[in-house]
């Protein structure tokens, strides 16, 4: 009696190959939903932020990573470093990638009016 039961289970397992693929389908569906609801929007937001920071130019109001709000006075180097004026006469060097937000696009200050001193 026990031997015939064991053979019956073995025969059922051989035909159950479709069950494995059916158990994978919900996992793939959950991954697809997570991708379209979480991963893809986050990637799009990061791309938009990179483009916004890359397009920051002289005269723009920006927020630094430390939460300081200032105006870009000059772009130094190979567009990787900016000089931000926080208040009258207070200027700091900031790496462009540490800018968190470009609040308002200002009119670019002409080079003749820029009295920047190091």
**pLDDT band at residue 66 using 50, 70 and 90 as cut-offs:** very high
The whole-angstrom separation of Cα 53 and Cα 46 is: 11
pLDDT of residue 118: 44
Q: Taking the domain 57-104, which CATH number applies?
A: 2.30.30
pLDDT band, very low/low/confident/very high, at 49 (cuts 50, 70, 90): very high
Domain ranges for the chain, please list them.
2-53, 57-104
What is the pLDDT confidence band of residue 85, given thresholds at 50, 70 and 90? very high
Contacts of 104 (CB under 8 A, 6+ apart): 60, 61
pTM above 0.75, yes or no: no
Under the banding of pLDDT at 50, 70 and 90, the label for residue 19 is confident
Q: What is the CA radius of gyration of the chain?
A: 29
């Amino acid at each position: 009696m026990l031997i015939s039961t064991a053979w019956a289970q073995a025969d059922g397992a051989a035909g159950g190959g479709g069950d494995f693929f059916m158990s994978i389908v919900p996992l793939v569906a959950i991954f697809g939903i997570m991708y379209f609801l979480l991963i893809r929007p986050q990637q799009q937001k990061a791309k938009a932020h990179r483009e916004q920071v890359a397009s920051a130019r002289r005269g723009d109001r920006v927020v630094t990573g430390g939460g300081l709000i200032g105006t870009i006075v000059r772009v130094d180097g190979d567009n990787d470093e900016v000089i931000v004026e926080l208040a009258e006469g207070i200027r700091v060097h900031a790496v462009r990638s540490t800018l968190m937000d470009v609040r308002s696009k200002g009119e670019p200050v002409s080079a003749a009016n820029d009295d920047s001193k190091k």
